[in-house]
Structure 1
Amino acid sequence: MVVSRGKTPNAQETFLQMAQASGLRGRILITVGLLILCRLGIFIPVPGIDRVAFSNDLQGNANLGGVIGFLDIFSGGGLSALGVFALGILPYINASIILQLLTAAVPALEDLQKNEGEAGRRKIAQLTRYVSLGWALLQSIVIAVWVTRYAVTPGPLFTIQTALALVAGSMFVMWISELITERGIGNGASLLIFLNIVATLPRSLQQTLELAQSGDRSTVGGIVILLIVFLATIVGIVFVQEGTRRIPVVSARRQVGNRVYSERSSYLPLRLNQGGVMPIIFASAILVLPFSLANFTSNEVVLRIANYLSPNGPTPWLYALFYLVLIVAFSYFYSSLILNPVDLAQNLKKMGSSIPGVRPGRATSQYVQGVLNRLTILGAVFLGLVAIIPTAVEGATRIRTFQGFGATSLLILVGVAIDTAKQVQTYVISQRYEGMVKD
């Protein structure tokens, strides 16, 4: 085997390990098998529903189709198909976001996360499961009441059966995601969302090819421009996701007992995009809210607001501006949850470390906060451009076959792919050093 010790594993070494190392091969097979099982569960239908009437209503109601289309990105088409796994991993993702926000706001949860170690993290994980169950129950009841109009035999029994089926499917998917995280490769919840997004690609590609075959030169040119924009966006996402600002940190010379530790230099990495895809998800959820209210209430004022905040409405510039403002606001909010400059400065002071040219304590926290603010505004503007440009190009070229597959999907795909590849590389490196010990 060709091994590049001390370096990042190359493709040859990685694939050889995947084929020869039983541990890595077993983890990959478990991951693939469980992902296939989750995908098959989407096509198990919830009984007692007139699917023809439901499908016709989706096609005839633009607002309803838009809301379902956005949620289908994360459920892999399960919601529009009304399968048993229609909710998928969404309740678990929502519960994780809620616990992250509560951890920053509730001192008891913050103490569990920071000071209780592994036991505290297990308690937070258990709380996340309970919140997932409650969230899944709430969403299932809403969906069951909503689809009652399409029921073959409507009534309380149909509502209860539908809600229980959806809750059971969601909890099963959550269990599979945790099983993938524990015994497979990568983060289970992220991989399930990745799979659901990828599952929508063949249909979009097929519609694009049919449009290219039946269209004129301008249509083909628009498709080419759209694909180039997507490829350029993917390249930009990779650079920004991996981009970091390295702040130098110097550890002072110190003596512990009879041993003297010399001065050491390291760095503090601050990511350009601290929040990842979360600011876009939050902003998209808020923008979808008027469409949801318009569909369920049929209020004239809400319908008008939803129309103005639509990318295809009379004022697309207002939609773009509002979207950008929301992304910037949520980027700062999520960045403040992830990194606290005051805690960071205190930890550096306790360890006897400092930033060259910056006094420990308050000056350090102010310096880190200033760097973090500049990085956050750059990352937020990039996220805003990534969110708006594909939609603007779709509107200019009038190619709607990738409708819904935009910035959020691209960021999730690229981010999950990078994280999973890093985990595989970490496993290969661990195997490399195990081989060195055996030699």
Structure 2
Amino acid sequence: MSKHRKKIDDDNQRVKNDRRTLYKRIFYTIGVLIIYHFLGYVTIPGVNSKAMLAASQNEGLAVLSMFSGGSFQSFSIMSMGVTAYVSAQIVVQLLQANVVPKLTEWSKQGQTGREKLNQLIRVLTLIFGFVQAFGITAGINSITGYNMLVDSSWRGYLLICTLLTAGTFAAMWMGDLITENGLGNGVSVIISTGIIAQWPQLANKFIKAITKHHQLDWKILTVTIIGLIIMITFIVWFNQSERRLPIQYARRETLTGDESFLPLKINVPGVVPVIFAGSIIAIPQTLLMLFEDQSTKTWYKVLANFFTLNTSSGIIIYGVLITIFTYIYSAIQIDPEKMADNFTKQEAYIPSVYPGNPTAIYIQNTLNYLAFPGALFLVVISVVPLVVSKSGALGLQLGITGSSLLIVVGVILEIGRQINGLRSKNEYKGFLDVDFKFTK
């Protein structure tokens, strides 16, 4: 009887510890985000705020703000957000996909290899961040007729670029803290909260756009709200969808109704391709601001036409980039050879598929098969609002609502899965008693 009582006490204590861990992660994440957004009000010294406010409506800065988690309205030290870090990740992940043998070797070395790759990402973040900071600063200064900077000497540029790059590293560090001690992927959480922070302003602009002669167009507002609800529902449904590969074990009897399976999400890379594609589109726009005085030149018009989300060609390139990154990141995120090797070690196999290399080929073919509907889903949700806003002249920021919804909903679902994982250890009830089950 005493042993039974002790077991109950131990189980209750374990439940309390897990609940305490969940509370800590939730409040830790909230605390880091509060600090991050407070830093967003720390403005760069030596900047003309009025000139900066006018320049913040620039298309390139609008896209950069949406996909970085930062804001250029106040030109704070956090304005660039995590864009440089995301760009560095793109480069390293592409190079390690059998492009640079050394990086490919590092990617297979476990924790040691990951540390080497992370160090390389940080070095590239420093380089990209400083170059991007210089391009943004010089470009905005050119747009404002060289009225933005109080000190336009090289010392003034050096100070501003250093502070903006330091802000990127601070954002990167906070993202890592959230990943390790909080909920969700830190970088994605920072980007999504930056997007959410801009929604009230976006809603205000939309209301003004559909108001004529002090009369609100309720038909457009109703259609828009219904469209958003349908879009969010579709995003949630698709992100929950998965392909289940049946798995059998050589030394385990499979009971009826108790089958093992390998779940592969239809949208394997999640929202990463959208973030990557947005960053790729934003970088050339930022650099073009350096050559604002060349805006009448043919080369400038060609680049400005292709690397924008306000033209048909730019929207097509955006969709193509999302598709490419979906295929690439699907191959990076899941290693079929490693998975097949794990099956062999566990004496597991996929019915009708030989173990070893045939299993790896089968999983790779399945990932390629899933990448198409995943890419189509991401492209439709991201591109359709852009086309609608372009035809209706409702503004670029409204157009990238689809992309922003993808990011925010994807991050919320990921946090929900993590909370569900923490709760399901002991299947306790109580705080956050909502059943976060995302298996279809």
TM bin, normalised by shorter chain, reads: 0.7 to 0.9
Task: After superposition, give the CA deviation of every residue in 1:26-75 in whole Å (9 maximum; x if it has no partner).
Answer: 3322221221111011121111122223333455xxxxx11100001134
How far has the Cα of 1:151 moved from its partner? 1.2
- Alpha carbons 2:77, 2:167 under 8 Å: kept: yes
Paired position in structure 2 for 1:223: 221
Q: Summarize the Cα distance change of 1:352–1:426 in structure 2 as closer, same or farther, 3 Å threshold.
A: closer
In structure 1, what is the equivalent of residue 194 of structure 2?
Answer: 196
Q: Does 1:252 align with 2:250?
A: yes
Corresponding position of 1:55: 53
The separation in 1 between residues aligned to 2:345 and 2:36, in whole angstroms, is: 47
Q: Which residue of 2 aligns with 1:234?
A: 232
Is there any run of 5+ residues in structure 1 with no aligned partner, and where? 1-15, 60-64, 254-260
Question: Is the Cα contact below 8 Å between 1:290 and 1:303 reproduced in 2?
Answer: no
Q: State how far apart, in whole Å, the 2-side matches of 1:226 and 1:341 are.
A: 42
Q: TM-score, normalised by structure 2?
A: 0.80
Aligned partner of 1:173 in structure 2 is 171
Paired position in structure 2 for 1:9? none
1:130 is aligned, of 123, 128, 142, to: 123
Paired AA for residue 279 in structure 1: P
Match of 2:76 among 65, 72, 83: 83
Q: Distance in 2 between matches of 1:86 and 1:375?
A: 36
Structure 2 CA distance for aligned equivalents of residues 431 and 249 of structure 1: 26
The Cα shift of 1:195 comes to 1.0
- Computed over aligned residues only, the root mean square deviation of the Cα atoms, in angstroms, reads 3.3
Q: Percent identity?
A: 30
Question: What secondary structure is seen at the aligned counterpart in 2 of 1:39?
Answer: helix
In 2, Cα distance between equivalents of 1:262 and 1:160 = 68
Matches within 5 A, 1:229-308: 229-253=227-251, 262=253, 265-288=259-282, 291-292=285-286, 294-297=288-291, 298=294, 299-304=297-302, 306-307=304-305
Give distance in 1, aligned partners of 2:36 and 2:390: 34
Q: Is the 8 A contact 1:283 1:327 kept in 2?
A: yes
- Which segment drifts farther, 38-47 or 182-191? 182-191
Q: What's the CA shift for 1:22?
A: 3.9
- What residue number does 2:371 align with? 376
1:102 maps to what in 2? 95
When residues 216 and 163 of structure 1 are mapped into structure 2, their CA distance, relative to the original with a 3 A threshold, is closer
Shift of 1:103: 3.1
Residues 167 and 366 of structure 1: CA distance in aligned 2, closer, same or farther (over 3 Å): closer
**Aligned match for 1:152, one of 143, 150, 168:** 150
What 5-or-longer segments of structure 2 have no aligned partner? 1-14, 431-440
Conserved? CA contact 1:226–1:393, under 8 Å: no
- CA offset at residue 342 of structure 1? 4.2
Cα distance per residue 1:340-394 (max 9 Å; x no partner): 4344444434443222122334443443333222211111111111122112232
The whole-number CA distance in structure 1 between the counterparts of 2:169 and 2:306 is: 37
Q: Given the alignment, which residue of 346, 351, 372 partners 1:356? A: 351
CA contact (8 A) 1:17 1:428 kept: no
Which sits farther off after the overlay, 28-37 or 70-79?
Answer: 70-79
2:24 aligned with 1:26:
yes
CA displacement at 1:411 relative to structure 2: 1.3
TM-aligned CA deviation for residue 193 of structure 1: 0.9
Structure 1 residue 412 displacement after superposition: 0.9
Post-superposition offset of 1:311: 5.3
